[in-house]
Structure 1
Amino acid sequence: MARTNPLQFIQQVRGEVGKVVWPTRREVLLTTVMVFIMATVTALFFALVDMGIKGGLRGVLSLFG
């Protein structure tokens, strides 16, 4: 890879940063809300699965105990 001097590097970085499409405030808000919703749904799902497994194991163990 060819080496560039620091001035060229900074110019290239500024050029690349100029190409970035930044999300709008609304997009950030909607994405954040969706993350919280999905985290809540996932937590509820795993809590229900955990309760189901716990109940099943208690049922099976009560047969032998």
Structure 2
Amino acid sequence: MATKTNPFTFLQQVRSEVGKVSWPTRRETMISTIMVFVMVAFAAAFFFVADQLLGFLVGYVMSAGR
């Protein structure tokens, strides 16, 4: 079982660990954000086209039985 740490010691440890984090620069954050938006746009376009194609194919198959 883990030992309990008092809140003051815990906050000191948290501050020490946060100091070790390598934070991204503003430029890196902007590039990553733009890349996320680009990939979301590509995924949305892909799924839109796939949905339209599958809808057309299902409609074609369903109408062929008439």
Deviation of 1:7 (Å): 1.8
Q: Which runs of 4+ in 1 moved over 2 A?
A: none
Question: Which segments of 5 or more consecutive residues in structure 2 lack a partner in the other structure?
Answer: none
Instruction: Report the AA paired with residue 23 of structure 2.
Output: W
Q: Percent identity?
A: 46
**Greater displacement, 32-41 / 5-14:** 5-14
Aligned to 1:34: 35
CA RMSD in angstroms comes to 1.0
Matched pairs, number:
65
Aligned to 2:14: 13
- TM normalised by structure 1 equals 0.90
Instruction: Report the AA paired with residue 47 of structure 2.
Output: F
